[in-house]
Amino acid sequence: MENKNLAQMNIDIENARKRADFSSESMLYLLRGGPEAVEKLNQIRALAEQEPLFDKSSAPFQSRQEQLYQSLLISKRLIDLIEERNLGDEEFATLFRQIEMLTPLALHYSAFMPVIKSQGTAEQVEKWYNASKRHAIIGCYAQTELSHGSNVLGLNTVAVYDKKSDEFIVHSPDLTAAKWWIGGLGVASTHAVVQAQLVIDGKSHGPHLFIVPIRSPIDLKPYKGIRVGDIGPKAYGGFATTDNGYALFDHVRVPRDNMLMKFAQVTKDGKYVPPVHNKLSYGSMVKLRVDIVTDAGWKLAKATTIAIRYCTVRRQFHNPPSFKADSNTLESQVISYSSVQHRLMPLLSTAYALIVAGEGLYAQFNQLMTQLESNDAKLLPEIHATSCALKSWSTRRSTDGIEECRKAMGGHGYSIFSGVADLFATFVPSNTYEGDNFVLAQQVARFLLKQLQNVVQGKSITSATAEYLYTLAEGTDQVFQFENISQQILDPEVQLKLFSIRSARLVADLGQQLQNGREWSDLNMECWAINLAHAEYLILKSLIAKVKFIEGSEYDGLAPTLKSISDLFCLSTLGYSSLATFLSTATIHPSDLSKLNERYREAIAKISNNAVPLTDGFGFTDRELNSALGKRDGRAYEALWDAVQKNPVNSEEEKGKLGNLVLQILHRGNNLDYIKSARL
């Protein structure tokens, strides 16, 4: 007979689905681009499901070297599938994402090829991009150095132009200039796009991009003057399938046309031709940050899906507590406890918020890239600031949220088979790569200070994302006066007004402190607070706009649900995660908190009732989640048991090998005689 408790887990998850007051299928279409896009996605998923090599069940038991080797096997199989299935670029990109693995070729696709396409001339794209597409070369993006990361202007690698030979001499002056952390460089890359200081006649023109051959595509041996290798294991076991590497250059010569010259050029006689706008080359870096924002949303979506499903089927104690043992009464679902709801539901709303905001950021970025094609960089400062703010906010909130999901799952969350630990290990470094979050925050603050200066001087604000600075004209110390807080706090215009006032006052305070003589270097935390406030304003604005956009559309039925998500994001930010800055800026009065908290609890209850259907709306398959505890059918204990049975430590061979050492400990000295005589 089937254990009734195990059967109950499936009953619990299905009952949770039945309580939905919206269509999970419609939500899936909304988030994934419509029925046609979902159908294409499912076709690619089916293709991935057919490949035994893509099964990751053995990965937890593999060494790093074994995982790296496996990831290269997978890379090879992915490339074979292009020809076998005649896959287009978009289909291949979707398939690559489906394997949910950071292979040595990940940066080849996400950085090396896009940078060449966006920064190279037509001739350079023809030569290098096409070679990359057919995998005749494998590339990486080499910017970070041993002693410099976020400070790109401080990079020590140089590319000195030699007029006589019409070549650049790429050189690492010392160990500190070693390229470091470069994904794909450890074992796989034959070429690298290298960020190096351009030097002509002893004068530096700042960092520029150069294609530098690293290893021969014929025998994979490093070229003369290049020392290259893998930097080793990473924190928490993350990125085990990626060969993050290092490289030192000893006067390596490359042809002049290996410098990517779409925007800036160096002529044969050594004349430097600057770009029309000195920030035009930033487009590629913005793209990487845009990708991270969306990725942060989907990573958090996975973690919340796993945690909410597991907490729905996991039963512990009785709620409210009961001191009478009753084997006939089911224990309470963990998801029913307020502490769990208050931890997971805001994270669920944050995942939705980041997916929506990321979608909007992509649209802005595509508009920017179109304009850059005609050397129009007007949008660049705003998109740069927006991507910096959202990248730093999303990576911090997502990784913190993933870890909170693990803790909400109790002891089993610490198992590798929960699937959450790997999400954290692979995404937590996003807080530092593509710009350290606290450094990016300073760039956001500088951008907003420039807009503030326009306001002070009576000029127009040049950025739509900073228009909230006009609220400063209404004063900087009056709290928002609610007429009926319970009703008004759910009004999108009131919500945006509160977030606007808070952000504007933080910017004004920073400007005042600078005017009073405080050093910029002593205002880093003020910049961080501004960065968070600006990001939260942008995200809330995106959510509100999305709700309005779908009203009256084919997704009109989802508007109330998405409004509930938007409200919870607003209320959890306002009353909890960012309460300090709303109070310190006198945006709200402490006496309003009790009413706000009432609305917050109502929002939690509303989302909790729809929690499982909302996670279904993300549309993850069990293979994508790679979690024993987050199975769609809810049967977590059986899945966890099955996963553990694959553990090589439980094999007879391993038990014999390890047991022999244990016996040597037990039987030391005269212990064996003692054990027998004492009948232990």
**Phi and psi angles of residue 215, each rounded to the nearest 5 degrees, phi first:** -130, 150
Name the token pair of 238. 């993350």
Sequential DSSP letters for 253-302? EEEGGGB--SSSEE-TT--EE--SSTTGGGHHHHHHHHHHHHHHHHHHHH
The answer to whether residue 290 scores a pLDDT higher than 80 is yes
In the prediction, which pLDDT does 3 show? 82
The answer to whether residue 228 scores a pLDDT higher than 90 is yes
Long-range contacts of 30-33 (CB under 8 A, 24+ apart): 30/550, 30/555, 30/558, 30/617, 31/355, 31/617, 31/618, 31/619, 32/619
**Cα end-to-end span (Å), the chain:** 37
Which among 160, 142, 161, 162 is positioned nearest to 152, based on CA atoms?
142
Q: Which residue has the tokens 């022999």?
A: 660
Convert the pLDDT of each residue in 435-473 to its tens digit. Answer: 899 999 999 999 999 999 999 998 888 889 999 999 999
The answer to whether residue 323 scores a pLDDT higher than 60 is no
In the prediction, which pLDDT does 454 show? 92
* Domain-wise residue ranges, the chain: 137-274, 285-616
Annotated binding residue 144: yes
Coil/strand/helix, residue 331: coil
Convert the pLDDT of each residue in 364-390 to its tens digit. Answer: 999 988 888 787 888 888 999 999 999
Name the token pair of 381. 């400062």
In the prediction, which pLDDT does 564 show? 98
Convert the pLDDT of each residue in 415-426 to its tens digit. Answer: 999 999 999 999
In the prediction, which pLDDT does 280 show? 65
Q: How confident is the model at residue 327 (pLDDT cuts 50, 70, 90)?
A: low
Cis geometry, peptide bond prior to residue 320 (ω within 30 degrees of 0): yes
**Catalytic residue (choose from 434, 526, 536, 624):** 434
Distance CA 645, CA 373 (A): 56
Distance CA 187, CA 230 (A): 7
Contacts of residue 432, Cβ cutoff 8 Å, sequence gap at least 6? 149
With the C-alpha atoms ordered 106, 111, 116, 117, is the resulting torsion angle positive or negative?
positive
Domain 137-274 - what CATH class?
mainly beta
Would residue 526 show up in a list of annotated catalytic residues for this protein?
A: no
Which among 603, 597, 496, 600 is positioned nearest to 544, based on CA atoms?
496
Q: How confident is the model at residue 322 (pLDDT cuts 50, 70, 90)?
A: low
In the prediction, which pLDDT does 2 show? 66
Convert the pLDDT of each residue in 59-93 to its tens digit. Answer: 999 999 999 999 999 999 999 999 999 999 999 99
Which among 617, 562, 610 is positioned nearest to 19, based on CA atoms?
610
Convert the pLDDT of each residue in 544-564 to its tens digit. Answer: 999 999 999 999 999 999 999
Which among 140, 112, 136, 125 is positioned nearest to 217, based on CA atoms?
136
Q: Specify burial of residue 46 (Cβ count, 10 A radius: 0-12, 13-18, 19+).
A: exposed
Q: How confident is the model at residue 629 (pLDDT cuts 50, 70, 90)?
A: very high
Domain 285-616 - what CATH class?
mainly alpha
Distance CA 268, CA 256 (A): 8
Share the mean pLDDT of the chain.
94
Convert the pLDDT of each residue in 231-259 to its tens digit. Answer: 999 999 999 999 999 999 999 999 999 99
